[in-house]
Amino acid sequence: MATPLHVIQDVRDQVSEEEWNVRVDLAACYRLVAHYGWDDLIYTHISARVPGGGHQFLINPMGLLFEEVSASNLVKIDLEGNKLIDTPYSVNRAGFVIHSAIHEAREDAGCVLHLHTEYGNAVSCQKDGLQRLTQTACFPLATLAYHDYEGVAVREDEKARLVANLGTKLAMILRNHGTLTVGPTVGDAFHFMYILERACKMQILAQSTGQELTTITDEAFMNAVTGGESVIEGAADFGPWQAWRRMLDRIDTGYKE
């Protein structure tokens, strides 16, 4: 029998106001990923650190579509994968391995977002990865890492290599696998992913023309990065995240439940 979506009625009474606000933002992020068609059935994952909870974090319940994720049904776990609030839901093993590794290693990782989009995967298969073909690509390229494919990420020993390859970067292409972004807030991580996803899509579309392509020079690249720092910083503060939240509220406020 399928698990009811709203079996957890009292979560809001068990958490702080700060945690509840993060839960609402994280649920909104799941709904936005679904809205843009970036979800992969019940797979891939987005996590957020619990405020004041050390290395505790929130992640999606295994078995729910992203459009079904809400603030109350997110699963709260620690670095060992222990559930910290009673829930009938389990957690995807690969999601736990990837996200626990980054949350443990990066104190600045308020949110970790991992996707398997078509365009992101297409670029992840290319030997040269993301290229300097568009202005949009300049921003993720300024903070982009790569991690080689090792199979489905369910083994503990991959954590160290994943973390080492990510370093202090804010975005990563997992070769032959997908994309990942890290941000101090849910809004920042989603904004980074929005830019990275658009850059990947533009690259594939440009390459599909079969025409000779121009690349951005070193000087122009540095000018773009320097002049566009605000593009990839403070998404939660200066507008985009609040605009996305308003858009969601016009569509469906169920993510807040």
The span from the CA of 61 to the CA of 88, in Å, is: 9
163 Cα distance to chain centroid: 15
All structural domains of the chain with their residue ranges:
16-245
Q: Top-level CATH class of 16-245?
A: alpha beta
Both tokens of 172, joined, read 């990563």
- Please indicate whether residue 187 or residue 93 has the higher confidence score (pLDDT): 187
Give residue 9's pLDDT band: very low, low, confident or very high (50, 70, 90). low
Give residue 172's pLDDT band: very low, low, confident or very high (50, 70, 90). very high
Over the stretch 113-143, which tens digit does the pLDDT of each residue have? 999 999 999 999 999 999 999 999 999 999 9
The span from the CA of 103 to the CA of 112, in Å, is: 8
Q: What is the DSSP string of 33-96?
A: HHHTT--BTTB-EEEEEPTTSTT-EEEPPTT--GGG--TTTPEEE-TT--BSS--S----HHHH
Q: If phi over 0 gives left and psi between -120 and 50 gives alpha, with beta otherwise, what is residue 96? A: alpha
Closest CA to 142 of 236, 224, 235: 224
State the pTM of this model.
Answer: 0.92
Over the stretch 24-64, which tens digit does the pLDDT of each residue have? 999 999 999 999 999 999 999 999 999 987 789 999 999 99
- DSSP annotation of 37: T
Measured in degrees and rounded to the nearest 5, phi and psi for residue 115 equal -130, 165
